[in-house]
Structure 1
């Protein structure tokens, strides 16, 4: 079964595009979220081999819609789940954080236990 971990629209220590009742924020938010998804694909180059994918997600808010990146994985696949959790615990703090994160299922699974 496909499950999702919802991330953010940009790195945690960066200011992201805000939802607004008055401004047309959607194009800027879409671009920012796509940029973050692209960044995550570069930082986590093993995602595809573990059956994990980055997707854009749009949700409703009182003032409109907002976007975030979500990690899609098969919850019945322990390797995919492990990699998705690895991503969630190794997210970049800043746009300048470009060092790829490589996952070792044996080492990282033992560290999480």
Structure 2
């Protein structure tokens, strides 16, 4: 298997910096949201051996995380798909990714409020009890997402 590194976030967006005390959590979240965005924009065909993965690279300042596409270099369709994603990867977050980033921040704020006893667990909206942001049903719009799962 081979890897093409796409980046930790879209190219025109800022990302968490290695060395920042919250880097491990922030970079994991950013890569997760970016990977989900790429999956939405470039869904891998079922019969093509590719996958979006987060890779960790070590260097003198610590561990650096980045989204990559893993592909079977002996499969022409997989090679073509991986290079297409590399060429066409978006330079900015899409609206759903912005929602997901805000959702993670809100989830963190709710968890902190519960820990500090400013809120009771039952006061936290149920969709913040999940590990990941809510998924859009096929054919749904961004406004449907906000209506169903307000921030």
Q: Same fold (TM over 0.5)?
A: yes
1:57 alignment partner, SS class: strand
Higher RCO (C-alpha under 8 Å, 6+ residues apart): 1
Distance 1:85 1:9 in 2: 17
Q: Aligned runs of 1:92-107 on 2, under 5 Å?
A: 92-96=90-94
Distance in 2, Cα, partners of 1:52 & 1:97:
25
Separation in structure 2 between the aligned mates of residue 12 and residue 63 of structure 1, nearest angstrom: 21
- Greater C-alpha Rg: 2
Runs of 4+ in 1 over 4 A off after TM superposition: none
> Greater helix percent: which structure?
2
Give the structure with the higher percent strand: 1
Give the paired residue count. Answer: 96
State the TM-score, normalized to the length of structure 1.
Answer: 0.78
Calculate the TM-score normalised by the size of structure 2: 0.59
5+ long unaligned stretches in structure 1: 99-113
CA RMSD of aligned residues (A): 1.6
